[in-house]
Amino acid sequence: MRTTEILRLAQPSARRFAPGALLGLLSALCAVGLLATSAYLITRAAEMPPILYLNMAIVGVRAFALGRAGFRYADRLASHDAAFRTLATLRVGIYERLVPIAPDGLAGTRRGDLLTRLTADVDELQNLPLRVVQPLLISGAVAATSVATVWILLPSAGIALLVALVLAALVGTAANSLIAARSERSIAPLRGAFADEVLDTVVNLDVLTAFDATAERLAAVERADARLTRAVLSSAAGTGVATGILSLLAGAASVAGLLVGIPALGSSGLDGPVLAIIALVPIAVFEVMSSVPLALSALRQVRSSAERIGSAVPEIVPPEIPLDRPGAGSNTVDASNAVIELRDVSASWPQESSPAIRGIDLTVSPGDRILVTGSSGSGKTTLAHVLVRFLEFEGSYRLGGVDVRSLPLAEVRRTIGLSEQIPYLFDESIRQNLLFARDDASDDDLIAVLERVGLTEWVEQRGGLDARVGERGVLVSGGQSQRIALARALLADFPVLVLDEPTANVDPGRADALLRDLLSASADPDGRRAVVIISHLPVPAELITGRLHLG
Amino acid sequence: MKPLDPRLLGYARAARAFLMAGALIGLAQTACIVLFAWFLSQVIVRAIDGQSLSELMPMIAALAGVVVARAALLWIAEVTSTRGAARVKSQLRSRVLAAITQLGPGWMAERNATSVATVTGPGLDALDTYFSRYLPQLILTAIATPIVVLVIFLEDWPSALGVVLTLPIIPVFMILIGWATQTVQKKQWRLLNTLSTSFLDVVGGLATLTLFGRAARQAERIRSVTEQYRVQTMKVLRVSFLSGFVLELVSSLAVAVVAVSVGLRLIDGSLGLSVGLFVLLLAPEAFLPLRQVGTQFHAAADGVAAADDVFEILDAASAEQAETMVESAPDRPSAGTLVLTGFGAAYGERPVIGPIDAEFSTGSFTAITGPSGVGKSTLVAALLGFVGHTGVVTLGGRTIEAGVTGRDWISWCGQRPGLLAGSVFENVALGSRAPDRALAARALGVAAADEIELDRMLGVAGAGLSGGQAQRVSIARAVYRALERHSAVLVLDEPSSALDELSESRLIDGLRRLSESRTLTLIVVTHREAVARAADSILSLEPAAMAA
């Protein structure tokens, strides 16, 4: 994904963004107006005019005071609301880019990085409208307005203020970039690396403890922490320099106002109140401008987050990952005649030079039960991924007599289900972990399917369907998570079911029973569902109708 | 929210030095504020009175000097505060990680590892704003506001009275709004945490969702969860932004009141312009630090909420007695028969297994079998001391006590490979005091993994190896440790679950060879017939053995 595309997703639409920006601008102008009018009021009052002349200024002072606070409150609500609304679009936008390439196009994405990338980085992008675009726009507008006003009062003072502001923008930005840009760009990756170390330590705590390796591991975490801290500190020196320079120029603008204002006093209509305005307005303008260096830092951090999201999501889908063909939209498979025919099929994984399987011939007819065997690394899982179209292939693959490439991917996956080798269990209740396979299933349906895979007792012990299965099935053993996965697949009622190592972690005494259960469960009333079982375990011959050996 | 949690000072010593430095800088900054206002107002008033530019030059130069000093102080303050924030965060992080390792795998097993990692990693980053922005401002406020008010009082007491009367409105409102925000705020952090896990959960389960044609629908769910998050957060923000509103309003109005009252008294001649202008410039400075504290308040509250989670872990760890590992206890058991008497285990309050009685003689090879879910792995966890146990464990007649005996006597390979980023050699020699390549090669041989090169680099979680390869490397890691430390017992939990028949039989050969030395007691939890056949004896755990 391109960085600009991600940044576009993060920036609210003009219509959503405008209210907050306008309110913010009004608030900032009120702040400058408050100081200018107060200064005018006091110096003019010192000339002891009739009070009538000051009424306007008195009203102005009060109005600006109220306006500054009121507009600011409204601005913050409006702009935060807009940013949050955009966050939903952003998350979904990035998620939708992940969907077509998952899972095999995403392989190699490091876990810890995934965590920071997709939560921290996406959240960081929220700062684009809030901390970058809006402050920059407002500062620019306030600076322009103030320069114009002072220019009208005394052109040379206007020039002095303009020069100070331009210098502030240039010098502040340059100092900030020179010192901080490098380290800031490296902060986000270092933060990712650090999160990796922490996650590795926390997740593998049992292994580290059993091997007395926690101390050396903590030392590694501290080293990563120290690298991150160094980067953060050198970035702070940069922001500090920029802040200092801004303050210096703010003071210089006031001093310059005095230097050009004092000689002009008395001539060309310049009186005391105007001198006060010329000397004091820079203070208020620069207070508004102080958000500029912060905005530039925020911009860099936002950019590097966007870049990292971009590198996680390949811009072009690798050729090994199948995509829906235009025009395949409406083709369907006759569920009652879902025959699979593979002829001379080869397939490879993205970024791997040699194919994982080659020259595969396989026919699966309704009612078949095919056992696929082979040593580890012989491509059994690759075959399963080709069948459900996670991976692209060469050769011929027909489903129900139709070239599978002319079918929508979703249609293939409605026809052929896969129970994965490492089933993913969601950090939710047992019910939710089943329901997403068929959301109109009643509790009775769920209990029936749990019975079929032999989990009735287990679910009762946990306290029923509402019990949580725990993160990555922490509280669930390998055998049980396989059974839950099988229950899901049975609920979804696929005409063809691919079981990738269903008995990998089930004890042999139960494995046979489970295989029998599965195969009898797969026998729908007219006995037409086909099952492909991938297994490195021997399977009783009477349970299968055919074999395919790989490797 | 407390402005400053005392636990922060207790758990992070760096916080104290940080506060001291902040106070010194704050004092110098206050001096600059007052001097700047004084010189600026003096120059303007004297110019209006008719003094020429050259007469005023010394005073303008002094003003410029103050400007330079003010800029330098800002830079110093920025660097100091960021440095302080980073130090405090590092200290808290290393303490919390130490606490987690002390609490151990048993504690961890009952928690969501991702959540714990979030709390220690990104969660703690919420403290950044608290330290680098909020606290320095809080210190500056405590110093600058009273001094500025005092100066105004000495110059023009009615203006000081105006400021003094409006100032207390701020803390009163802050406390009221703070109370209102606090509870919602805490809820928002929980919600954020849940949201972060749920987004990751969706991405992690993307393959499964795609298989069931549900991936597209999750987009809607992400949208609705995020929308819910927006609605919740905006509810909090509407209240918490009120504190900022009150601050801005009160400070603006105070400036307006001072300007108008000074103006009116100037008209009737009861006040001089120099005093009036000086007071006008100082009045906003009495409120500015407080206002900036207010703008950081929301972010700081996030930080404090995050710190609360960290303190929870730290408090849990300090409540539990620290594990005292004895490196070389003279009577440390290192060999002999392993005897379990009345041995049972429990995850928290829920009894999972036991009690059982069993005996494993020196050099024996025992297979533990039983239906899945019967508690075989929990038995192993109890033996390792990860979870509590009942009954007595003795080795060669000496009692093994978790936390006292150390773990040299036992080497273990769990069901999950649990490999780390780094080379195969680094993984195999994990925890070794003097990594030995020859021994590592031998261990790989025992584990039927001799085709895997020692120098092969692995990604995080052992990325780059197939499931079967990762399993064999993790077995080699346990074998290496058993050989290096002369462990009495080697426990392997389902060592061949990801292996094909050929690799399995090679692994069995390796284990048999290891067992023939008759010094290492081998306990293998398995459901594979081939492994069970190779064992000297079988310990079968039946569901009947489970606690009622």
Of B64, B66, B201, the CB nearest to A427: B201
- A61 touching B (Cβ < 8 Å): yes
Contact between chains at B467 and A479 (C-beta distance less than 8 A): no
Q: Is residue A156, in this structure, part of any structural domain at all?
A: yes
**Structure confidence at residue B306 as a pLDDT band (50, 70, 90):** confident
User: Average per-residue pLDDT in chain B?
Assistant: 84
CB pairs under 8 A between A and B: 441
| Total domains present in chain A | 2
Using the beta-carbon criterion (under 8 Å), do B214 and A436 form an inter-chain contact? yes
Confidence of residue A525 (pLDDT cuts 50, 70, 90): low
Residue B394, chain A, CB below 8 Å: the answer is: no
Are B253 and A103 a contacting pair at CB < 8 A?
A: no
One domain for residues A308 and A339:
no
Search chain A and give the residue with CA nearest B227. Answer: A88
Quick: pLDDT tens for A5-48.
Answer: 889 988 999 999 999 999 999 999 999 999 999 999 999 998 88
Q: Tell me the residue type at B403.
A: G
Helices (H), strands (E): how many in chain B? 18, 11
Single out the residue of B287, B297, B288, B250 nearest to residue A287, CA to CA: B288
Peptide bond into A366 cis (omega under 30): no
- Name the CATH architecture for the domain at B6-319: Up-down Bundle (1.20)
pLDDT digits (tens, 9 = 90+) for A79-117: 999 998 998 888 888 888 888 887 777 644 444 445 456
Is A146 in the same domain as A208?
yes
Chain A residues near residue B406 by CB distance under 8 angstroms = 212
- Taking CA atoms, B256 is separated from A74, A171, B267, in Å, by 21, 34, 17
Question: Taking the CB of residue A215, how many other CB atoms lie within 10 A of it?
Answer: 11
Which among B25, B41, B75, B241 is the top mutation candidate for probing chain A, defined by the most A β-carbons within 10 Å of its own β-carbon?
Answer: B75
Q: Answer yes or no: do A286 and A347 share one domain.
A: no
Contacts A247 to B, Cβ<8 Å: 67, 70-71, 74
Closest CA to A102 of B205, B312, B508, B243: B205
Closest CA relative to residue B504, chosen from B471, B478, B458, B541: B471
Q: Tell me, what's the pLDDT at B63? A: 96
Q: Tell me which residue has tokens 């021997």.
A: A538
- Pick the more confident residue, B182 or B66: B66
What is the pLDDT at residue A458? 84
Indicate whether B548 pLDDT > 50: no
Chain B residue whose CA is closest to A233: B83
Chain A closest-CA separation from residue B197 CA (Å): 8
One-letter amino acid identity for A74? A
Residue A374 within a domain: yes
Q: Each residue of B468-479: pLDDT tens digit?
A: 888 999 999 999
> Chain-wide mean pLDDT for chain A?
84
- Flag whether residue B466 sits within 8 Å of chain A, measured between CB atoms: yes
At residue B352, does pLDDT exceed 70? no
- State which of A312, A344, A377 marks the end of a domain: A312
Residues A164 and A224 in one domain: yes
Please determine, for residue B329, whether its predicted confidence score (pLDDT) is greater than 50: no
Contact list, B44 vs chain A (CB under 8 Å): 43, 258, 272, 275-276, 279
- State percent of chain A over pLDDT 70: 88
Distance CA(B15)–CA(A550), nearest Å, equals 63
> What residues of chain B lie within 8 A of the CB of A262, using their CB?
43, 47, 52-53, 56
Contacts with A, B 168-197, CB within 8 Å: 196-197
How far apart are the C-alpha atoms of B209 and B216, rounded to whole Å?
Answer: 9
A472: its two tokens: 């990555």
- A291-312 and A134-153 helices, crossing angle to 10°: 150
Chain A residues within 8 A of B276 when measuring between CB atoms: 42, 45-46
Q: Angle A210-A501-A97 (CA atoms, 0-180°, nearest 5)?
A: 85
Looking at the complex, report in whole angstroms how far the Cα of residue A331 sits from the nearest Cα belonging to chain B: 16
Q: Does B229 touch chain A (CB under 8 A)?
A: yes
B215 CB near a chain A CB, below 8 Å? yes
Chain B residues close to A390, C-beta within 8 Å: 207, 210
**B249: nearest CB among A69, A202, A410:** A69
Nearest chain B alpha carbon to A65: B252
Is the pLDDT at B546 greater than 60, yes or no? no
Q: What is the pLDDT of residue B174?
A: 76
How do residues B499-523 score in pLDDT, each as one tens digit? 877 889 999 999 999 888 778 999 9
With bands split at pLDDT 50, 70 and 90, how would you rate the model's confidence at B325? very low
Cβ separation A203–B117 shorter than 8 A: yes
**Does residue A521 register a pLDDT over 60?**
yes
Write the CATH number for A55: 1.20.1560.10
Q: Which of residues 281-340 of A touch B (CB under 8 A)?
A: none
Q: Is B80 on the interface with A (CB under 8 A)?
A: no
Residue scoring higher pLDDT (B168 or B506): B506
Looking at residues B11-34, what average pLDDT do you find?
87
Q: Which of A312, A347, A365 is the last residue of a domain?
A: A312
When pLDDT is cut at 50, 70 and 90, the band that residue B190 belongs to is low
Q: Is residue A319 part of a domain?
A: no
Residue B11 has pLDDT above 80, yes or no: no
Say whether both A307 and A402 belong to one domain: no
Tokens of A311: 């590198």
Residue A306 lies in a domain: yes
Q: Same domain, yes or no, for A57 and A176?
A: yes
**In this structure, are A358 and A282 located in the same domain?**
no
- Residue A509's pLDDT band (boundaries 50, 70, 90)? low
DSSP string, B104-157: HHHHHHTS-HHHHHHIIIIIHHTHHHIIIIIHHHHHHHHHHHHHHHHHHHHH-H
Q: Where does the pLDDT of residue A421 fall: very low under 50, low under 70, confident under 90, or very high at 90 and above?
A: confident
Rounded CA-CA distance B219/B222 in Å is: 5
Verify that A382 and A529 share a domain, yes or no: yes
On chain B, the residues whose CB falls within 8 A of the CB of A484 are none
Q: Write the CB contacts of B131 (distance below 8 Å, at least 6 apart in sequence).
A: B15, B18, B81, B84, B85, B88, B89, B303
B81: nearest CA in chain A? Answer: A236
Same domain, A108 and A234: yes
pLDDT at A260 over 50: yes
- Contact flag A119-B199 (C-beta cutoff 8 Å): yes
Kindly tell me if the per-residue pLDDT of A137 is higher than 90.
Answer: yes
Contact A297, A175 (CB under 8 A): no
Tell me, yes or no, if B326 comes closer than 8 A to chain A by beta carbon.
no
At the topology level, CATH places domain B338-545 in: Rossmann fold (3.40.50)
* Domain spans of chain B, in order of start: 6-319, 338-545
Neighbours of B247 (CB within 10 A): 25
Closest CA–CA distance from residue A346 to any residue of chain B (Å): 20
Q: Sort out which chain B residues have CB atoms less than 8 A from A201's CB and list them.
A: 97, 101
Residues in chain B within 8 Å Cβ distance of A418: 211
Residue A415's pLDDT is what?
A: 93
Interface of B with A in 328-347 (CB under 8 A): none
Cβ neighbours of B205 in A, within 8 Å: 424, 426
Got the DSSP string for A195-232? HHHHHHHHHTHHHHHHTT-HHHHHHHHHHHHHHHHHHH
How far is A93 from chain B, CA to nearest CA, in Å? 9
Residues B198 and B195: their CA atoms lie apart, in Å, by: 5
Q: Is B31 on the interface with A (CB under 8 A)?
A: no
Q: How confident is the model at residue B150 (pLDDT cuts 50, 70, 90)?
A: very high
> Does any domain span residue A120?
yes
State the pLDDT at residue B327: 45
pLDDT, residue B328, reads 45
| Whether A27 contacts A71, CB under 8 Å | yes
A54 burial (CB, 10 Å; 0-12 / 13-18 / 19+) is: buried
Report DSSP state, residue B76. H
- Chain A CB contacts of B43 under 8 Å are 258, 262, 279
Instruction: State whether A263 and A412 are in the same domain.
Output: no
Q: Is the pLDDT of residue B232 over 70?
A: yes
Q: How far is A164 from chain B (nearest CA, A)?
A: 14
pLDDT at B17 over 90: no
Higher-confidence position of A228 and A352: A228
User: Does residue A360 lie within any of the structural domains?
Assistant: yes
Contact B290, B254 (CB under 8 A): no
- Output the pLDDT for position A523: 63
d(CA B80, CA B89): 14
Q: Select the residue from A117, A275, A477 to test the B interface by mutation, using most B Cβ atoms within 10 A.
A: A477
For residue A328, the model assigns a pLDDT of 66
Locate tokens 């099952």: which residue?
A531
> How many angstroms separate the CA of residue B25 from the nearest CA in chain A?
14
Q: Does A127 touch chain B (CB under 8 A)?
A: no
pLDDT at position A408, please?
Answer: 92
- Tell whether A77 is within 8 A of chain B (Cβ): yes
Distances (CA, A) of B16 to A79, A426, B12, B23, B289: 37, 44, 8, 11, 21
Residue A440 has pLDDT above 50, yes or no: yes
- Contact at CB, B100 and A262, closer than 8 angstroms: no
Q: Which domain covers residue A463, as residue numbers?
A: 335-549
Of A312, A343, A366, the residue that ends a domain is A312
Judge whether B524 and B478 are in contact, CB under 8 Å. no
User: What is the phi/psi pair of residue A511, to 5°?
Assistant: -60, -45
Q: Any chain A CB within 8 A of the CB of B129?
A: no
pLDDT band at B194, cuts 50/70/90?
A: low
Question: How many Å apart are CA B160 and CA B179, to the nearest integer?
Answer: 30
CB atoms B255 and A34 under 8 Å:
yes
* ipTM of the complex model: 0.76
Q: Decide if A320 is inside a domain.
A: no
**Are A478 and B497 within 8 A, CB to CB?**
yes
- Statement: residue B334 has pLDDT above 70: no
